[in-house]
Amino acid sequence: MPKSPNDNYGHYPDLHQHIKNIQKAGLLTVIDRPINKDTELHPLVRWQFRGGIEEKNRKAFKFTNVTDSLGRTYNMPVVVGVLATNEEIYSIGMGVPVTKIGETWENAINNPINPVTIKNAKCQEVFITGEDLLGEGGGLDGLPVPISTPGYDCAPYLTATNVTTRNPETGTQNMGTYRAGLKASNRLAIRMVARPGGAEGHIHWEMYKKLGQKMPCAIVVGCPPSVAYMGAQKLPIGVEEMAVAGGMAGTAIRQVKCKTVDIMVPAEAEIIIEGFIDTDFLEPEAPFAESHGHVALEDFNTSMTVTAITHRKDAIFTSIISQLTPSESSVIKRVAYEPIYLTHLSKTLGIKGIKKVYLHEPLTNLRKVLFIQFEQNVPATEIWRALYGASSLASAIGKYVIAIDKDINPENSDAIFWAMAYRANPAIDIKILKHRVPYGPKDQRVPGGEDSTMLIDATLKNPMPPIALPTKIYMEKAKVIWDELGLPNLTPESPWHGYSLGDWSDDWTETAKRATDGLYKENGKISEKLKRNDVKPNSSIRDIKK
């Protein structure tokens, strides 16, 4: 059961402290020169995701001198990548080592701590409402909101959002990370996913629409990492993100009531945008480049009229890199989703022998391709239970679900193709399931764009001969010589040495040892004694009785 709001609550880092923590870890790049938020800011950060930089070497960015295409300057700095440019930044935000991220999420979900309400909050130190929301440089126009994809996006977009709405029947709140594009200084468009299994915020909107009421909404931009990570997470309907954030922080999150809407928001947030979402009319929203790697074209979506903006005096504007993956958006999801999938398969379904779950990230986004890595010799029944279980956990995740062995690196496409080529028989090891919810551009050939799922068992079905590479000891010795010769630095690619896949004998090990010892002639003498005249070429010696 969730702990009481009256329980003691302690300290947890806000965004300011988190930025100090990642800077101390050497993971923050500070840019003091003028940077145009409309044309330069996101493209500059984007290069570290498309420039061949390894994830571990990516950093967060802080821009202290932000301008726009009209020549305006902003006193508020902009940060990008501070939530999840890589796993280390994410782990700093959670306050646990990378290896503990999965169990921390599991504990937070299973042991939520209800938030505690306070009256005076930092997020309301500055209060903007009424006429101050209007005009050039007023309201939303006064915030340094970047254009994420210059050349395609129709407007500056809020991307690092925790859009908060309330269920009008139960009173429970939901936080979701939805894109929000600026339309005017006091109006913006919000896209809440309407497909089955989509945004709980959309479910709330449908309820307000039936009531004939506008929907109160608060958009949180920048907040303690323990809260920020909630927006991208898929929690069960009705589970409050603020309570799970408390479970993650190990203490109750402080919250405050908004000034003009009946919504509770994190007290240490940077910026709060309050208002009401229209339930009578929709208006065109987008184009905006989306996380499925394509530009989302114009749809009719909801619009929100802003009633107030509040923020800290020293507020920092937070934006995230989304669009084509890998991105900050995909890292935020990946490091949380993967352990949740593993827990679902291993604990909820009780499937044995699963080593890890991987959501393929580069280009395809996390939703399309999912790998389940198994220990060897796992029964086929368990493999297929896992394939079906993984494909059904989330409505939009798992178009291709592939089971692989522990020696196959799911981040190496060549290794995946190799496993599919030699460990899977398409007639036996592939199943196709209909009626998957589409994600991304829709297939025009199918009514409603409905998608499907392919399950592939690319694991070993029986012992196979060893990998055709020198064994590990010889490759390691050769690398020492390579380094001594000053040859180019090596980045070993799996597999980089030979190893057994079960079909190998001690006799052949001895044969190989004699060869490397220079005694191949001894092998010739042994084989000569086994000569026969009653067999055909290419006959396996194991098929012929000695």
**345-375: pLDDT as tens digits:** 999 999 999 999 999 998 888 889 999 999 9
- 195 pLDDT band (50/70/90 cuts)? confident
Dihedral angle of Cα 90, 91, 95, 100, to the nearest 10 degrees: 140
Kindly tell me if the per-residue pLDDT of 407 is higher than 70: yes
- List all residues 6 or more positions away from 40 whose beta carbon is below 8 Å from its beta carbon: none
514 burial via Cβ count (<10 Å: 0-12, 13-18, 19+)? middle
Structure tokens at 115: 């938030």
Q: Which is more confident, 235 or 488? A: 488
What is the DSSP secondary structure assignment for residue 299, as one 8-state letter?
E
Average pLDDT, rounded, for the chain:
93
Q: Count of CB atoms within 10 A of residue 39's CB?
A: 16
Q: How far apart are CA 186 and CA 212, in angstroms?
A: 22
Burial 347-369 (b: 16+ CB within 10 A, else e): eebebebbebbbbbbeebbbbbb
* Domain locations along the chain: 15-319, 349-457, 472-543
Token look-up 């178009």 returns: 399
Which of these, 265, 277, 276, 273, lies nearest to 311 by C-alpha position? 273
- 144 pLDDT band (50/70/90 cuts)? very high
Q: How far apart are CA 80 and CA 31, in angstroms?
A: 11
Q: Taking residues 276-300, report their average pLDDT.
A: 93
In the CATH hierarchy, which top-level class contains the domain 349-457? alpha beta
Complete edge-to-edge strand list for the sheet that includes strand 264-266: 116-117, 254-257, 264-266
Round the CA-based radius of gyration of the chain to a whole number and report it.
28
15-319: CATH architecture: Roll (2.30)
- Amino acid identity of 55? E
Kindly tell me if the per-residue pLDDT of 5 is higher than 60: no
- 197 pLDDT band (50/70/90 cuts)? confident
Q: Taking residues 240-267, report their average pLDDT.
A: 97
- pTM of the entire structure? 0.85
Q: How many residues does the chain have?
A: 546
Q: Taking residues 251-259, report their average pLDDT.
A: 98
Q: What is the pLDDT of residue 196?
A: 75
Q: What is the pLDDT of residue 1?
A: 40
- List all residues 6 or more positions away from 240 whose beta carbon is below 8 Å from its beta carbon: 112, 114, 172, 173, 174
Check: CB of residue 15 under 8 Å from CB of residue 225: yes
pLDDT tens figures, 371-396 = 999 998 999 999 999 999 999 998 88
Q: Give the 3-state secondary structure of residue 504.
A: coil
Cα of 208 vs its chain's centroid, Å: 31
